[in-house]
Chains A and B, each alone.
Chain A
Amino acid sequence: MPDLEGTIFGEMTYPGRSALRAVRVSGPLSRKITKKLFFSKSDPWKNPRTAVSGLLRNLEGKPVDSILALAFPSPNSYTGEDCAEFQCHGSEGVIRGLRSSLFALGAREALPGEFSYRAVLAGKMAAEEAESLGDLVRAETELEACAVGISGSGSSRSRILALKEAILQLRAKWEARIDFPEEVPQPGIKTWKKELLPVLKSVRDALSLSRRSRPVREGFRVAIFGAPNSGKSSLFNCLLGRERAIVTPHPGTTRDMIEEKLDIDGIPMVFMDMAGARRKKPGIEKEGILRALESAKRADAVLFLFDGSRGWDAADDEALRMLDRKPLLFIASKKDLYGKKGHGAALKALEISNRTGEGMDGLIKRLSEWGKRNLPKKGIFLMNGRQEECLLGIEAALAEAEKAVTSGENELLAAEKAREAQREIDELLLSASGEELYDLIFSGFCIGK
């Protein structure tokens, strides 16, 4: 655990080129830092929660940028501590300079989620809210943001609450039979199983929905695959809009995997550029090709590239055989070299040019349509790692309960496992479960001789 006392800072905006970038500072050094780095006629600490314009200086006192500063004195701030915000122009240089000044003045970079963690500790926010908020802040596409929003208050949460209710109801029935054998009807073990199965099914449904929703957070994984020198890295760079991968006219230039997450019409996708596939493995390329195949096999979709100017040849056949799965799209690259007389049409391939950008709109459209088709139909159910782990725990416990009521005649073991499932769901919800079980038992059964 980090020390919770120190002063932390973090960038509030997403790193990258933009009009504005902002840095937040939280902790006891906030005032001192403002005084040292921000120069203005009015002191933001005397005008809390108001944007004050002034100059950002470096540690030598040289002005760096003209900025807005805001002060949030404790306890009326996001974290409950003294907080300051500096809104600078969108320059990497300015931000880099500000970071090193802050560091020199005794602050440290915040850990992921640390602002929210402090907010929780200061009672500004409930733990569960923070968790959901953390997910929201990390949401990289609008789609994800909507889904996280939903999981905070709407469908995902209500699904979990319904699950908790189902587990409690199951336990109430079972525990009533165990603790009040003379007062509660005692059906056979088959009934126990019949009662368990729908609960187990809804846990499994939730898990599979959560798995199917995973691309919403992590992005669909799209492999760019093909024979060497088919133009994979060029396509990759073209999609990214910058020279991320090294491109040369020589086959086998790319040896390692590179991946980048992109927003394709609001759908997150992770594109993977990889070594070209060929069987003759010249030394150093061997490992790269193995990795490429492995990633392509596990990807959600594969874009299969071939050199449209050369046409489909034996090298492409070999690459396709190695892939051993159906690509989402065949793409004939280098359209700028062959113009209209390409070989793509015959193979129903999409013809593109990485150089001129021709065909790229069509590719984006095909990808986004495919992505939308593959989003979970029954609504998106987003769980973070911790939540999904709890869900897995519930599934494991109830699966063992199923075993207990199937093989042996062991109602007690089943009941013990149902108790474990309840413990997990309480943990998932970070919530309290006290006497609810007995409330259900005594309202549902007429107990008492």
Chain B
Amino acid sequence: MRTGNKGTKYDAVVIGGGHAGAEAAYILSGMGFDTALVTHDGDAISRMSCNPSIGGVGKGHLVREIDALGGLMAKAADRTGIQFRILNGSKGAAVQGLRCQSDREEYSREVRRILAGRPLLEILQGEAVELEVSAGRVRGVRLEDGRILRTGMALITSGTFLRAKMFVGLEETYGGRIGEPSSNLLADNLEKQGVVFGRLKTGTPARLARRSINWDAAETQLGDEVPEPFSLFSRPFPALPQVACHITHTTKETAEIVRSFLGESPLYKGLIRGIGPRYCPSLEDKVVKFPHHERHQVFLEPQGLDSDEIYPNGISTSLPRKAQDAFIRSIPALEEAKVLTYGYAVEYDFIQPTSLDMDLCFKGVEGLHFAGQIIGTTGYEEAAGLGLYAAFNIGAKLGKKDPFRLGRHESYLGVMVSDLVANGVLEPYRLFTSRAEYRLLLDRHSAYRRLSGCAEERGLIPEGESGFRGSREKAFDRHLADLKTKKLGGKGSSLYTLLKRSDADIPNIMSEISLEDPFMRAYLVSEIKDEGYRERQREEAEKLAGSLGTRIPAKLDIKSLPGLSREIVERLISKKPATLLEASRIPGVTPSALTILRVEIERLRRK
């Protein structure tokens, strides 16, 4: 940075130290840019506001992609995980998801340690209150204490903090997280720049005292015997001792108690306008919408190795405190549970991602970027992925390079960004594997091959054989060649051919080659077994990308060609796809609609 009388100068300023902000600051400073990370509390960086866990189906894939792209989340999660499990272990390799329980305090500390290793990154404690904008572009960021950070590139990763309101029962307080204030001045200032906000809602359960739980009454859930790390380059792994989790469930009585308090629910009384995610419902919602379900699972997750806090995953609520006390005690193992912090709902401002371009830059102000929960997503992993993506693009602009883009058949990150920017959100967006059209191509094993080249180019990870991609792919090729030449007991078909059979005795076949690494083994097996299907998806994806590369001219008046249904016309007008490919990603735009567009483009071209 260079300090002058007009303030300190940075290449980029990241506002908000959550998962998106931390990832973005790490990437920008790693690419060689002077970066400031503004956070209201330097100790709260990458704090897990909700469950102490990272990954899952889809989300776990995203974390692996973040690692392949040189981000920090996978490393931090591996170093602070206290239980690792593969979900969907019995289903196809491409949808197996890696998930871990984290030591919440350690995770935040680890991220801070990682960020401290970036000499070009400066972490500034304070509240950003104003963007300085002139002639339609960002000139700087003003903090509440009067400091001015001069920069052309701002990235807002404020999570749920803009005009955040918390609800416990009918009680309303301002704040984005228990004990942390909301940012209202910044929201006001952004509105002045033309940003239009909507409201979303999320919630969290009470935290319980570990010693007050009757553990014997709960079912035990252990981690995997041979845990797989998010980053295949994490050493040593696992770094922390591994622990068990526990599962219990709500009862009929729980549902009755919840029902009797609905009159004091801010959700059902209409105090909360914001829309919450359907896949993360409060217990109130579960009870009302699924009255025939006698029980709902409750996962008792430790907040950390030494922490006395337990996170009861599955009973997020904004009912009043007395209701929370009562229903928690109706749950087996929690009869005597002591509540440390009560559950609450948060309602916050978000910006529709449709008002952003593919760089995640606000269309109204040059240099003003947004990423993370503020653009309508939910989840640490989604936030981190978007922070990384925005940082790559800010870096591209600063370095005058081509923008960073990822296809939907190349990565889940690409799926997420194009879903968001093309379609906007109606509820907080979470990544599901089913959102990707070509899931077989996006398995976790191939992430380094798919993506690490992008990080190598930017100097974020080592290149060549010592790099992620080089080292793994070289080993992969060697073992694949082995499998193609060796035979079981020296006779018959090659191991490779045998593996392709549906009744293949995989452990026996794989024992024929010398390969210790269980993850490399899984990689090889999955690549070989589904090869044909994957090839077909790849061809289909590439064919689509080729024929759909045609640009849609701005002068094409979509309203004048309504061989299209009104619904499609409206979507095309509001989303303004630049190419047929982008149009094809808009839900509801059928191949027939694309044909009509193609005919019209051709007609215009000939005019």
Contacts and interface: CB of A to CB of B under 8 A. Distances in A.
Interface of A: 1, 4, 117, 120-123, 126-127, 175, 178-183, 407-413, 415-416, 419, 426-427, 430-435, 437-438, 442-443, 446-449
Contacts of A181: 57, 87-88, 91, 97
A430 B565 CA distance: 9
A446 B299 contact: no
Contacts of A426: 590
Given A121-B561, A442-B278, A179 B434 contact: yes
Contacts of B587: 432-435
B314 interface: yes
A430 B592 contact: yes
Nearest to A171: B434
A412 B434 contact: no
Contacts of B92: 410-413
A416 B440 contact: yes
Contact of A179 (B57, B530, B567, B596): B57
Contacts of A123: 562-563
A126 B313 CA distance: 49
A110 B493 CA distance: 61
B484 interface: no
A182 B95 CA distance: 13
B137 interface: no
A200 to B, nearest CB: 19
Contacts of B93: 412
A413 B588 CA distance: 24
A126 B57 contact: no
A427 B440 contact: no
B439 A432 contact: no
Interface centre among A127, A426, A446 (most CB of B within 10 A): A446
A265 to B, nearest CB: 38
The 4 closest A-B pairs by CB, nearest first: A412-B92, A432-B588, A434-B587, A123-B562
A180 B590 contact: no
Interface of B: 51, 57-58, 87-88, 90-95, 97, 277-281, 286, 289-290, 293, 296-297, 299, 313-314, 316, 426, 432-434, 437, 439-440, 502, 530, 533, 537, 561-565, 567-568, 587-593, 596, 599, 602-603
Contact of A427 (B278, B290, B433, B590): B590
A446 B87 contact: no
A1 B601 CA distance: 12
A446 B290 contact: yes
A252 B335 CA distance: 99
10 contacts: A121-B561, A127-B596, A178-B88, A178-B91, A411-B91, A412-B440, A430-B593, A434-B588, A435-B426, A435-B587
B602 A431 contact: no
Nearest to A446: B290
Contacts of A180: 57, 279
B590 A431 contact: yes
B91 A412 contact: yes
B565 A126 contact: yes
A409 B90 contact: yes
Contact of A447 (B91, B279, B502, B602): B279
A447 B439 CA distance: 21
Nearest to A442: B278
Contacts of A442: 278-279
B565 A179 contact: no
Given A434-B587, A446-B289, A448-B277, 7 more contacts: A120-B563, A127-B564, A181-B57, A430-B592, A433-B588, A434-B588, A449-B297
A178 B433 contact: yes
Nearest to B221: A182
A409 B92 CA distance: 8
A446 B286 contact: yes
Contact of A407 (B278, B293, B502, B562): B502
Contacts of B290: 446
Nearest to B565: A126
Contacts of B568: 432
Nearest to B588: A432
A449 B313 contact: yes
Contacts of B565: 126-127, 430-432
Interface centre among A1, A121, A126, A415 (most CB of B within 10 A): A121
Contacts of A431: 565, 588, 590
Contacts of B97: 181
Given A408-B502, A412-B94, A430-B592, A4 B57 contact: no
A256 to B, nearest CB: 39
Contacts of B289: 443, 446
Interface centre among B87, B88, B568 (most CB of A within 10 A): B88
B343 to A, nearest CB: 13
Contact of B299 (A413, A434, A435, A449): A449
A1 B297 contact: no
B281 A448 contact: yes
Contact of B432 (A122, A179, A432): A179
Contacts of A437: 434
B592 A448 contact: no
Contacts of B426: 435
Contact of A448 (B88, B95, B280): B280
A426 B603 CA distance: 26
Given A179-B57, A179-B433, A427 B588 contact: no
Nearest to B540: A420
A448 B286 contact: yes
Contacts of B296: 446
A375 to B, nearest CB: 31
Nearest to B438: A416
B300 to A, nearest CB: 11
Contacts of B561: 121
A127 B566 CA distance: 11
Contacts of B91: 178, 181, 411-412
B84 to A, nearest CB: 15
B563 A127 contact: yes
A446 B440 contact: no
Contacts of A433: 587-588
A178 B434 contact: yes
Contacts of A179: 57-58, 95, 432-434
Nearest to A179: B432
Nearest to A400: B533
B445 to A, nearest CB: 14
A117 B564 CA distance: 12
A449 B433 CA distance: 18
Nearest to A124: B562
Contacts of B313: 449
A1 B590 contact: no
A336 B93 CA distance: 79
Nearest to A439: B278
A410 B290 CA distance: 30
B95 A178 contact: yes
Interface centre among B293, B439, B593 (most CB of A within 10 A): B439
A435 B590 CA distance: 14
Contacts of A413: 92, 440, 530, 533
Contacts of A447: 278-279, 281
B428 to A, nearest CB: 12
A163 B58 CA distance: 29
Nearest to A413: B533
A415 B439 CA distance: 10
A430 B440 contact: no
Nearest to B276: A448
B573 to A, nearest CB: 14
Nearest to A434: B587
B279 to A, nearest CB: 5
A56 B296 CA distance: 81
Contact of B602 (A1, A120, A408): A1
B533 A416 contact: yes
B592 A175 contact: no
